Amino acid sequence: MSTVKQKQQNRPVISVVIPLFNQEDLIANTIKSVISQSFSKWELIVVDDGSTDMGVDKVRAIQDSRIKILHQTNQGVSAARNLGVKASVTDLIALLDADDFWKPGYLENMWQLTQKYPDCGVYGAKYIITYPEGGGKEALLNGIPQGLWHGIIDDYFALAAISDPPLHSSSIVVKKEAITAIGGFPLGVVRGEDLLTWAKLACRYQIAYSTNILSTYNSPTSPKVVNPRFAVKHSHQDIVGQELYKLKESAPQHLLPSLSLYIALWHRMRASIYIDMGLHQEALKELITAYKFGGFSVRIFILAMITLMPPILAKKLRKASRYIADLKRTHHNS
């Protein structure tokens, strides 16, 4: 076989982009999960977002010619992902966070999905969520067939409004032309930049999906305990909400009802964070907005009651609201 043909055969067809900021304890295992893939035609672009620990050294110590390291001053995860996408040499971008990992068949499964649904712009897969205190669960997805399934998601927002996020930044492959067309990941957003990106993509491109679980998201927060680090990332300036409102002006007509429900979900999420931060007046404002977009729900009613209660009672009712939310989500899945 000639050298030219050999190079063509080994040429990457998927670019893996990992943004890295101070993850020296986890980044080596994350990269090893890429190297162990049964599908080998990839390049890996690690974007160092101004790390101050030894994470970059851990990457350099891994000997694999397919790995590239880019550097930027600390500008946030969106800027890091955008730089990685820009530097990629393939038409397909597989995103992976520096503290998550893939099982060996992940890229092969996603590649097959791109071949079965070539007209789609986005490809997602179900994932496992693990928690700091141990344990975890499968992402709960309501409205799609249970068991092993693949197909096209007709209405992303309808699915997302009653599920865990169907798309996650470590279980998604997107065409480079699609992520570029929407302007990449939004800058200046401290929380929800990924959810906004998926929403923009869902308004313009078809999404193919697989329920084959081959990736793990290591959540920094527990579903039962408020994590101060997570709350600090919350911003009073709701850029995501403002951008979602703009999407309603240009989204396809058939997506408008479910997009409204998705916007309501976003404001309920913000209300929950405000409650956990002890900012009940701000939470109540978010709940009023959620009601305007999504109408009345038991969840909104309970959260509104919490904002009007003394702190001790509010804490107890907050626990009850989480329990009811879990029951409701499980009921949707049955």
Regarding whether 267 and 176 lie in a shared domain, the answer is no
Residue 141: pLDDT over 90: yes
**pLDDT > 90: what percent of the chain?**
74
Same domain, 196 and 294: no
On the question of pLDDT at 233 being above 70, the answer is no
Q: What is the pLDDT of residue 211?
A: 97
Q: Which residue in this structure is represented by tokens 């929407």?
A: 182
- Beta-carbon contacts of residue 79 (< 8 Å; ≥ 6 apart): 49, 72, 185, 187
pLDDT value of position 236: 75
Cα(303)–Cα(280) distance, integer angstroms? 10
Lowest mean pLDDT among 57-61, 64-68, 273-277: 273-277
The predicted structure's pLDDT at residue 276: 83
Which pLDDT value is given to residue 106?
Answer: 98
Work out the angle at residue 42's Cα, subtended by the Cα atoms of residues 208 and 70, and round it to the nearest 5 degrees.
110
Instruction: Show contacts of 263-267: CB within 8 Å, 24+ apart.
Output: 263/293, 263/294, 264/161, 264/289, 264/290, 264/291, 264/292, 264/293, 264/294, 264/295, 265/160, 265/161, 265/290, 265/294, 266/192, 266/195, 266/240, 266/241, 267/241, 267/293
pLDDT band (50, 70, 90) for residue 2: low
Is residue 4 included in any domain, yes or no?
Answer: no
> Would you state the pLDDT for residue 253?
96
Per-residue pLDDT at 230 exceeds 50: no
* Of the ranges 140-144, 234-238, 256-260, 313-317, the best mean pLDDT one: 256-260
Answer yes or no: do 59 and 176 share one domain.
yes
Q: How confident is the model at residue 92 (pLDDT cuts 50, 70, 90)?
A: very high
- Asked whether 144 and 209 are in contact (CB, 8 A), the reply is yes
pLDDT in tens, 250-262: 999 999 999 999 9
Gap between the Cα atoms of 105 and 33, Å rounded: 10
- What's the mean pLDDT in 65-80? 97
pLDDT digits (tens, 9 = 90+) for 158-182: 999 999 999 999 999 999 999 999 9
- If asked whether residues 184 and 234 sit together in one domain, one would say no
Q: Which residues fall within 8 angstroms of residue 140, CB to CB, at 6 or more apart? A: 163, 164, 329, 330, 333
Residue 35 lies in a domain: yes
* Nearest Cα residue to 217 out of 129, 139, 110, 312: 129
Query: Which of 120-129, 276-285, 305-314, 317-326 ranks highest by mean pLDDT?
Result: 120-129
Q: Answer whether residue 1 is part of any domain.
A: no
Q: Is the same domain home to 206 and 253? A: no
Shared domain for 190 and 255, answered yes or no, is: no
Q: Would you say residue 106 lies in a domain?
A: yes
Residue 193 belongs to a domain? yes
pLDDT attached to residue 225: 53
Q: Is residue 275 part of a domain?
A: yes
- Mind giving me the DSSP string for 230-279? HHHT--SS-HHHHHHHHHHHHS-GGGHHHHHHHHHHHHHHHHHHHHHTT-
Query: What does the block give as tokens for 128?
Result: 């496992």
* Domain CATH number, residue 14: 3.90.550.10
How far apart CA 182 and CA 200 sit, in angstroms, is: 7
pLDDT on residue 6: 52
The answer as to whether 223 is a domain residue is: no
78 within a domain of the structure (yes/no): yes
**What local confidence, expressed as pLDDT, does residue 334 receive?**
44
Do 112 and 193 share a domain, yes or no?
yes
Specify whether the CB–CB gap between 195 and 266 falls below 8 A: yes
Distance CA 265, CA 41 (A): 39
pLDDT tens, position by position, 204-217: 999 999 999 999 99
Mean pLDDT of 312-316: 66
Question: Which of 1-10, 75-84, 91-100, 310-319 shows the lowest per-residue confidence on average (mean pLDDT)?
Answer: 1-10
Pair (204, 329) in one structural domain: no
Q: Is the pLDDT of residue 266 over 90?
A: yes
What domain count does the chain have?
Answer: 2
35: buried, middle or exposed (CB in 10 Å: 19+, 13-18, 0-12)? middle
- Based on the fold, state whether residues 166 and 312 are members of the same structural domain: no
Confidence of residue 315 (pLDDT cuts 50, 70, 90): low
Same domain for 127 and 211? Answer: yes
Distance from C-alpha of 84 to C-alpha of 68, rounded to nearest angstrom? 10
56 in the same domain as 14: yes
Q: Are residues 81 and 203 in the same domain?
A: yes
Instruction: Return d(Cα 10, Cα 39) in angstroms, integer.
Output: 11
* Kind of pairing between the strands at 215-218 and 128-130: parallel
Which range marks the domain in which residue 208 is found? Answer: 9-218
pLDDT value of residue 294 = 96
